[in-house]
Structure 1
Amino acid sequence: MAKLSFFPLDFEYFEQDNQGYVYIFGREIKTQKTKYTKKLCIKAPHNSYCFLRLKGIDEKQLLNLLKEKKLKSKKVKKRLFANTEEFLKITLPTHSAIKELEKELQNKEVEVFEVDINPVQRFLIDNQITPLQELECDAEQIKDQTEITLHLYQAEAGSFIHKTEQRYTNPTMLAIDIETYNEVMQIDMDKNPILMIALYGKDDKGKILKKVLTYKKFKTTNLDIEHLSSEKEMLERTAEIIDQFDPDMLTTYFGDGFDLPYIKKRAEKLGVPFEVGKNKTSIQLPRHRQRARIIGIPHIDVFKFIRYIFGTSWRLDSYSLDNVAHELLKEKKHKVDLSKLADDWNNNKNLHHYTDYNLQDTKLTFEITKKIFSVLSEFCSIVQVPPDDLIRMRFSRLVEAYLLKRGEEMNIINPNKPSNEAIAARRQKHIQGAFVFEPKPGLYKDMVVFDFLSLYPTVIVSHNIGAETVTKDKPKKMNQAWKVPERNYYINKEPKSMMATVLADIVNVRVKLKKERKKLVKEKQDTSFIDSRLYSLKILANSFYGYFAFYGARWYSFEGADSITAFARNYIKQVIKQATSAGFHVVYSDTDSVMIALKDKTQEQAHEFVDRVNQDLPGAMELEFEGFFPRAIFVGTRGNSGGAKKKYALIDENKNIKITGFATVRRNTSQIAKELQKKFLEYVLTDKIEDGMKYLKKQIKDIQHHKVPLEKMIIKTQLTRPLESYKSIGPHVAVARQMKESGLAVSKGMLVEYVVQEGSGLVRNRARQPSNVDNPYDVDYYLKHQVIPALLAILHVVARSEDELLTKDGATQKGLVGFS
């Protein structure tokens, strides 16, 4: 037996000779004796099991059935929701056998639990294995029939152990991106060939690999370009480079949906094996899942992690590679017109622009993956899920993976996934949202903002909310439960809710980490590791409320989710009432924050008020003093004297502006309208209204004389449903129809870009894709339907009118004057 020490990267479950195995693909840990590290694979036997609920069934009859089938069972006590019960644990050598047993027992009305847990996830939980963390085991080298191309070892059962918390912080990565032939900008994998494939990576010695493969020869001095004789040879060379580079991870940007499926399709069509998997398999495309998998090499489609988890708080029009690269790296894609690629390819001209573009995309993808890897790694550690799975998870799946892990630790039976009927019923239910205090439109001086720290998580923890503790039954003694405000629910104080217990642990860990971080900052030490962990735990904790109401959740509880928002509304109302009683002027409140104008009060008095509120809050709940803002603006709603909800702007003492709800953070508005609105808000919040009006007049004059670039007039609108289901035809729908008629792929969820040009007829008839505009943009449309609407509410607050902007000499209008 050898002692192996390695970083586990990828996992795959196989069944051989009526026995289940998990294959662990990893990278050997470098030591003083090893000049280089090798990839290896560890084969570990894995038995699957399930739990049979004994409550309400004939136990003797069940035991006789199991005896007839020669199945051994073990009686165990485990907690199912609020009650501890007896179960029979059945262990079988394969997951397939467990699923067959489940089918048979369900026909006999026996409740079977935990069959639907993925066998790899079950293996990791049972063996307490954390992906990407140093792992040791006892093993011997073997050969088997799976055609594993790495050094293969058989692990001794139960020998896995994490002796240290060392993480694999710098895996070797290879980014890949393709460009395809496309005369009508429509994806056709069967018909249209791949024209070039770019690869960009860095090995464990820091040496950079950057290469563009293509089979159209053209003059170039770029040594990164490699010319092949055909598409087939290009694909063969791509597989060769991947095999030679031997990356720990392959990274793409939307590779699940485009690059890897396209490569697989073209390879199959041209007879290229493309066996890049570590068991001599090609790219795997599981049915009913938009996922591209390479066995033994985690495929990191970084687009999905950014869109689902990492970048959800960003204010972007879309999660395009260009937008994300600018947000994270302050870099941009190279600009080319891909609609001309087919023609340029046919005529062998300007192809160096496209190869540069292709390579830049891989470089950006590589750098983005490196940038977010510490957070990705941290999530893998916390929820105990491999990176290949973690990257594709959304918030609710993150929570569920974590609960499965903690459920085993707490001796809790994990409920089964809901049936299709249960999901359909859950989707019909709706939960009342947060309380919003309507503001009075105006400019305000000296604003302070109070914010509940992690409101929903702390409500759950402080009130023991969980599927097993929410009840409609009134307790015998009121001190045994909390009454939910505005509802006929009660929350039992015992037993301790699993969700509340787990969340309390997360909150406590975050508190400790924050203290550690302060210490490191004081000592001027690196805080990146703690920052990643704090961020990951924050995201996880804030996802618990959504999980309560998620229709696919194992621990779903409509009453639980409804109770959380009811308690939250109640606490916000209490703070508003207390603030008013203390002489503060409450301007606005929304979800978890309260905004107050100090007037004759001081910041010190505001801090004292927060301290008094916190003395009465239960458990982990805490109201924070978020900040002081010298100026704030709240605007009104169209046709209503009241203030707009979730629409305001604040400026702090460092001149940083926080904008919520305006066009600057929304789609469906042209760039020029966003720019003018944001700039005017800056002028207003810095008491430079006259300068702001002069600025607007100049910009509007430029629009009227067509001096504003066309790209600033582009409007982006999302197709929220299938194109054929639209009855009302707006400009974006009309343009989408034009795109479809020209052969372009159009689908629900895509952003349609268009410009409204001059001409007669309806606006929709004058809307064009930016590349198809053949007349100047329509000045009248952009002023009346884009620019002025974006400014109107602000103008009203500062007592100015649109007429001043559209006429040469406008008189000052009377309206809202001065500060509140």
Structure 2
Amino acid sequence: MDVKMKAWLIDIDYITKNEKAVVRMWCKDSDGVFVAYDRTFEPYFYVISDYEPYVKVEDGKKTIAVERIERVKRKILGKEKDVFKVFAKHPQHVPKLRESISKFADVREADIPFVYRYLIDKDLACFDGIALSGKLVGKNFREFEVESVERVRENGYPDLKIMAFDCEMLSSFGMPDPERDPIIVIGVKSGDYEEIINGDNEREVIKRFVQVVKEIDPDIIVGYNQNSFDLPYLKKRATKLGIKLDLGRDGSELTLRGNPKIAGRLNVDLYDIVLRTIDVKVKKLENVAEFLGKRIEIADITAKDIAKRWKEGKRKDVLNYSLQDVLHTYYIAEELLPMYYELSKMIRIPLDDVTRMGRGKQVDWLLLNEAYKLGEIAPNPAEISQPYEGAFVLEPERGLHENVVCLDFASMYPSIMIAFNISPDTLAKGPCDCHTAPEVGHRFLKSPDGFFKRILKMLIGKRKEIKKIMKTLDYNSPDYRVLDIRQQALKVLTNSFYGYTGWNMARWYCRECAEATTAWGRHFIKKSAEIARNMGFTVLYGDTDSIFVKKDGLSIDEMRAEVKRLIMKLSEELPIQIEVDEYYKTIFFVEKKRYAGYTEDGRIIVKGLEVRRGDWCELAKKVQKMVIEILLKERDPEKALKTVKSVIEKINSGSFGIEEYVIYKSITRKISRYESVQAHVKAAMRAEKMGIHYSVGSKVGYVIVRGAGNIGDRAYPYDLIESFDGEIIRGSDGGVYRIDKEYYIENQILPSVMRILERFGYTDGVVKGEAEQKTLDSFF
């Protein structure tokens, strides 16, 4: 008997039965999770050719052949054409067939993963509703044989169970090695449930973790860098001990091919999200938690203390450290994942895959879905890149300014692309009724609407509708929160379109589109500055999609009225929405893209200055932050100067801890592959001699000590430091070293503040007490 079911689509994959791929959909309803199988879908791709591309390929002992071919009509950049739709027996046959056919014909869409192809063709979306009809089968858990399936658009998101975990190892020395060092602690948190699994019996620790996963039955498993570290480590230790990591909902084991996969559960590495979205240079777990306002303090040890405390019997310290890490992981997930729920729904594909993608790839999948609806065949990824001129930047008026307004050209580039119909399919080569881009001369048809324009209008229209509804809701209501996430996701994708057109891996790559968009952007910034000056404003700075203006001698209310009049004038002459971004009580500009301002509501905004960079020690960042705050809030350069002098005195007197001197830099390739050996690489090499190894992407912390040679020769790894008394470092290699105070003063502290202070007439000599200083009145 046919059964109809309605649920949320959580995840999708495929399995092979009788040499045939079977789509497997993981769905969730009020009774829990069930799996639905569709055995009818076939892998396929397109071939643009004058001849039917029947081929056979020898692959070892078996022959791979085209199953069948259909002749179909599809569009290529809006123009209809007869093409071949080529079917394969199994998704794993597609790469071989593509390789063979591409030698004599144009092969398209052969790189779309099988289950993504299914989602596109069936108009389904992960994290949205799904209606199925078919038959219930299976004994161990609910299973469903699909006869028909369709999307049901739902508001909000499914009720998802999230589980965070974090592993701690008993390292004999340095970084843990899975060949020798056992797992002693696995922290777990899901909702109100918390457990810190621990003990000297590693077999029991791992077995308990597997049991806990099955008991909690999470939909999403989150960790921090678990794809590169925790899960491979766990897998290797389990294999050594003969333990099955059968974490999948179907009883299958964790697999590590490509990205780690757990059947029926979404494995999300928060580090992937943080890398692309969080503006924290040193992306340690606690730093990210602090940035998001989620940091807690229940541990008083660091990672390198774990083995020592464990062996000394001070295990409570280690358990607190593990609990702190897993709580940070869980709270970060709560903060970051909702945006990706919406992105998953918008671009259709599973959450864990979305979190690993950059913005360009996310736009790519959105376009693939929209192209299918229009009967459009996607181009292959460009794999090329040609330089083009970017945004216009107006030279800033240096120094300190009061009562400054920043005007923002909202969604400038998407607005330009819509206004001038910029799209690969509207790019004109001959005479036409066209929009012609300034400076570069590229022309775009005024009609019909291009592929990009239609999609951008759809995205912007949806966002406007959502924001209109939001105005009717309570700011603190759950409905408002869901809609806010949705409008932010729409904004992210909309604003990514311009960059996508110039991205070298874009399917719809178009240098002319990117070049024309920036040309119109430059034209509008220059035009807006001209209009503002004609209305009596001083234009202090302009960059890409914003300008900073002021009018002296006005009260705040008078300033608001004048700004409103300016916005009206700009809106009349430019096809772009303009709004106030910030009112600044005080702001100073150092140079292009480098400034700091104190807003009307009491926030300090810093752009492009060293305080935000990670290749400076913590002390340099702190002292620069203090200087910025004093100048902006108190407008007292003399106090800022005294603060810097005080820091220098404390360095000389040994008053700071070692953490203030540590510099962090990333390892971007294997140590052996570095041609130019920089300080952090030499520090890593020094640590490796003591058994500490750094993987690609990890941060190396080091300090500069006194001695012979260049800076690299004197870079001592932070991981080897046993003690520091303000001057003397004792290392685990048995060495005794002195911190190089002169280096930190001359190459960290002074450079971090002088870029600011020199704009107020100060020199190194002033900071060192060798010259007179100026007063603030000199700089207005």
Instruction: State the TM-score, normalized to the length of structure 1.
Output: 0.85
Partner in structure 2 of residue 676 of structure 1: 623
Tell me the residue number matched to 2:145: 154
SS in 2 for 1:818: helix
Q: CA deviation at 1:403?
A: 0.9
Does the CA-based 8 Å contact 1:149-1:280 persist in structure 2?
A: no
Could you tell me how far apart the structure 1 residues matched to 2:684 and 2:95 are?
A: 46
Q: Within 5 A, what are the aligned runs for 1:239-258?
A: 239-258=210-229
Q: Which residue of 2 aligns with 1:175?
A: 164
Q: Does 1:688 align with 2:643?
A: no
Higher mean C-alpha displacement, 394-403 vs 7-16: 7-16
Secondary structure of the residue aligned to 2:5 is: strand
Paired letter, 2:50: I
Q: Structure 1 residue 803: deviation in Å?
A: 3.8
Cα 1:721/1:63, change in 2 over 3 Å: closer
Q: Find the residue that maps to 2:778 and give its secondary structure.
A: coil
Q: 1:93 to 1:692 in 2, by over 3 A?
A: same
Residue equivalent to 1:2? 3
Mapped partners of 2:96, 2:755: distance in 1:
64
Aligned to 1:806: 768
The structural deviation recorded for 1:709 is 2.6
Relative to structure 2, which stretch is displaced further, 595-604 or 371-380? 595-604
**Residue identity opposite 2:240 in structure 1:** K
Q: How does 1:225-624 map to 2 (within 5 A)?
A: 230-286=201-257, 289=258, 291-308=259-276, 310-311=277-278, 314=279, 316-332=280-296, 334-345=299-310, 347-418=311-382, 423=383, 426-427=384-385, 429-471=386-428, 473=429, 475-477=430-432, 480-521=433-474, 526-599=479-552, 602-618=559-575, 621-624=576-579
Aligned partner letter, 1:555? W
Partner of 1:284, secondary structure, is coil
Gaps (5+ residues) in structure 2? Answer: 57-64, 722-728, 731-736
Q: 1:500 to 1:149 in 2, by over 3 A?
A: farther
Tell me, yes or no, if structure 1 residue 184 matches structure 2 residue 152.
no
**For 2:155 and 2:431, how far apart are their aligned partners in 1?**
52
- Alignment check: 8 A CA contact 1:797 1:816 kept: no
Say whether the 8 Å CA contact 1:796–1:815 is kept in structure 2. no
Q: Does 1:196 align with 2:185?
A: yes
In the aligned structure 2, how far is the partner of 1:682 from the partner of 1:386? Answer: 44
Once the two structures are TM-superposed, the CA of residue 379 in structure 1 deviates from its matched residue by 1.0
Look up the match of 1:628.
Answer: 583
TM-score between the two structures when normalised by the length of structure 2: 0.89
Query: Could you say which residue in structure 2 is the equivalent of 1:87?
Result: 83
C-alpha change, 1:376 and 1:790, in structure 2 (3 Å) is same
Partner in structure 2 of residue 767 of structure 1: 715
Q: Distance in 1 between matches of 2:97 and 2:644?
A: 73
- In structure 2, what is the Cα distance between the partners aligned to 1:82 and 1:805? 65
Please tell me whether the aligned partners of residues 641 and 767 of structure 2 are also in contact (alpha carbons under 8 angstroms). Answer: yes
Q: 1:198 aligns to what SS in structure 2?
A: strand
Provide Cα deviations, 1:770-797, integer angstroms capped at 9, x if missing partner: 3523355333222222112222233223
Which of 69, 74, 78 is matched with 1:78 structurally? 74
Quick one: distance in 2 between partners of 1:526 and 1:41? 29
Residue-by-residue CA offset, 1:514-533 (whole Å, 9 max, x unaligned)? 22222224897851011101
Determine if contact 1:13/1:23 at 8 Å carries over to the other structure: yes
Are residues 510 and 722 of structure 1, via their aligned partners in 2, closer, same or farther at CA, if it must alter by over 3 Å?
A: same
The one-letter amino acid paired with 1:492 is: L
Are residue 142 (structure 1) and residue 137 (structure 2) matched? yes
- Relative to structure 1, the CA distance from residue 694 to residue 131 in structure 2 (aligned partners, 3 Å threshold; closer, same or farther) is same
Q: Conserved in 1, the CA contact under 8 Å of 2:54 and 2:66? A: no
1:57 aligns with 2:50: yes
Supply the distance in 2 between the matched residues of 1:813 and 1:238 (Cα, whole angstroms): 64
Conserved 8 A contact 2:165-2:187: yes
Mark the runs of 5 or more structure 1 residues left unpaired by the alignment.
30-36, 203-207, 217-229, 636-643
TM-superposed CA distance for 1:761, in Å, is 5.6
Q: CA deviation at 1:38?
A: 3.2
SS at match of 1:160: strand
Q: Could you say if the C-alpha distance between residues 648 and 399 of structure 1 is closer, same or farther in structure 2, counting changes exceeding 3 Å?
A: same
Say if 1:521 and 1:527, in contact at 8 Å, map to a contact too: yes
SS of 2:7's equivalent in the other structure is strand
Q: Say if 1:236 and 1:272, in contact at 8 Å, map to a contact too.
A: yes
- Provide the C-alpha distance between the structure 1 equivalents of 2:159 and 2:291, rounded to a whole number of angstroms: 23
* CA 149–544 in structure 1, closer or farther in 2 if over 3 Å, else same: farther
Deviations 1:438-483 (A, max 9, x none): 2232222322212211122222222222222234x3x424xx1122
How many Å apart are 1:96 and its aligned residue? 4.7
Aligned-residue CA RMSD (Å): 2.9
Native 8 Å contact 1:53 1:86 kept in 2: no
- Which of 744, 756, 767 is residue 794 of structure 1 equivalent to? 756
Distance 2:373 2:549 in 1: 45
The equivalent of 1:751 in structure 2 is 699
2:38 aligned counterpart, secondary structure: strand
Q: Secondary structure at the match of 2:163?
A: strand
Whether the 8 Å contact between 2:389 and 2:515 is mirrored in structure 1 is: yes
Shift of 1:74: 5.0
Which residue in 2 is equivalent to 1:32? none
Indicate the SS of the match to 2:622: helix
Give secondary structure in 2 for the equivalent of 1:527.
helix
Partner residue in 2 for 1:42: 36
Aligned residue type for 2:451: M
Q: After alignment, is 76-85 or 536-545 more displaced? A: 76-85
CA contact (8 A) 2:47 2:86 kept: no
- 356 and 105 in structure 1: CA distance in 2 versus 1, 3 angstrom threshold: same
Do the aligned partners of residues 110 and 654 (structure 1) sit closer, same or farther apart at CA in structure 2, a change above 3 Å counting? closer
Structure 1 window deviating more from structure 2 (378-387 vs 45-54): it is 45-54
Distance 1:98 1:693 in 2: 67
Instruction: Measure how far apart 1:744 and its partner are.
Output: 1.8
Give the whole-Å Cα distance in 2 for the aligned partners of 1:40 and 1:260.
Answer: 25
1:140-169: CA deviations, max 9, x gaps? 2224xxxx952212122x24342x515444
Which shows bigger deviation, 484-493 or 589-598? 484-493
Q: Deviations over 1:278-305 (max 9, x none)?
A: 333211112xx3x111011111212212
Q: Secondary structure at the match of 1:664?
A: helix
Maintained 8 Å contact 2:66/2:89: no
- TM-aligned CA distance change 1:330 to 1:213, over 3 Å: closer
Q: Among residues 659, 684, 705, which one is paired with 1:736 in the alignment?
A: 684
Native 8 Å contact 1:300 1:391 kept in 2: yes
Distance in 2 of aligned mates of 1:437 and 1:377: 39
Which residue number in structure 1 is paired with residue 734 of structure 2?
Answer: none
Residue in structure 2 matched with residue 221 of structure 1 by the alignment:
none
Q: Is this contact kept in 2: 1:19–1:47, CA < 8 A?
A: no
What is the alpha-carbon distance in structure 2 between the residues aligned to residue 150 and residue 466 of structure 1?
49
Is contact 1:799-1:812 (8 Å) kept?
Answer: no
Contact 1:82 1:469 in 2 (8 A): no
Structure 1 counterpart of 2:749, one-letter code: V
Deviation at 1:763, TM superposition (A): 4.0
Distance 1:452 1:700, change over 3 A: same
SS of the residue aligned with 1:519?
coil
Q: Secondary structure at the match of 1:247?
A: coil
Alpha-carbon offset, residue 487 of structure 1 = 1.7
How far the C-alpha of 1:399 sits from its partner, in A, is 0.7
**What's the offset of the Cα at 1:137?**
1.4
Q: Secondary structure, in 3 states, of the residue corresponding to 2:424?
A: coil
